[in-house]
Amino acid sequence: MSTSDPEVFTKSRPDAPAGFFAREAAGLTALASYGARVPEVLELTDTSLTITRIADATVAGSPVGEPEKQFGRELATLHRTSAADAPGYFGGLDRQPQGFLGDQPVDFTACDTLYDSLITRRVIPLTQKAVTAGLLPDRALELATSITEDCLGPATIPVLVHGDLWAGNRVVDSRGYSWLIDPSAHWGHPMEDLAMMALFGGFGPECWESYDYLPVDEDLIPVFQLVPLLVHTVLFGSGYAPSTLRALEASH
């Protein structure tokens, strides 16, 4: 919900879960501290968040050219600079265990390993939730629990990730500058952002070519797409089940 002030934007939700807007505000602040272009947090309450409005901002409909190159470089810089200041664990900002991906609570308990943070704390519980709700078959849980640490690729130190980086959460202003909004920010693996970008599209080839923090390993995309796919299955129903099952099968 916007306010009458053209310079600010207020999101409000009377039934917001405890910590919902606080986690978003913390994510915006953390991203800004590592150089990402984000709206400034102006006011936070239990049921609302007021931020600066991004002038003339649009979702990049046909992403091409210099804005894409610049965004790829900026995302790599975010991952690189935050890695240099990594806290030594995977999980929530300031070790906050509570997180949200959209409206779905997710477990960001601080973990020593990526496997425990991503698979033990998020993929397996979300799969169990979907199976219990009848949205995925029992086989899905067998696939989730058989994912091993090796399935996540080479070991890497944590970086600050946006955590919900689909095209709608990156907007471009009239100058061609990209801004990040609506984060589910945490200390994770760069592929969490990259896999989310690949899931729904909306990022041009120049963006991928200019991202240079680490090589984009296409074999790892399915396992790093599991959390958003499972969240979509839980929130929006079994229409996402085929894609989720394919990703589970490809994650081994």
DSSP-based three-state secondary structure for 58: strand
141 lies in some domain: yes
**What's the confidence (pLDDT) of residue 159?**
99
Q: Is residue 98 part of a domain?
A: yes
- For residues 27, 30, 32 and 34, what is the CA-based torsion angle, rounded to 10 degrees? -140
Q: Which amino acid is at 117?
A: S
Cα atoms in the 13 Å half-sphere on the side-chain side of 92: 20
Distance CA 251, CA 118 (A): 13
Number of domains in the chain: 1
Domain CATH code at residue 141:
3.90.1200.10
Question: What pLDDT, on the 0 to 100 scale, is given for residue 56?
Answer: 83
Give the residues of the chain that fall short of pLDDT 70.
Answer: 1-6, 60-64
Query: Which residue in this structure is represented by tokens 């240079």?
Result: 212
Length reported for the chain: 252
Report pLDDT for 193: 99
Q: What is the pLDDT of residue 130?
A: 99
> Rounded distance, CA 63 to CA 59, Å?
9
Write the pLDDT tens digit of every residue in 11-21.
999 999 999 99
* Inside any domain, residue 2: no
Domain membership of residue 3 (yes or no) is: no
- The verdict on residue 44 lying in a domain is yes
Q: Which pTM does this prediction carry?
A: 0.95
Q: Is 141 exposed, middle or buried (CB count within 10 Å of its CB: 0-12, 13-18, 19+)?
A: middle
Residue 26 lies in a domain: yes
Instruction: Give the range of the structural domain holding residue 107, as residue numbers without chain letter.
Output: 8-250
- With respect to residue 70, please indicate whether it lies within any of the assigned structural domains: yes
In a domain, 1, yes or no: no
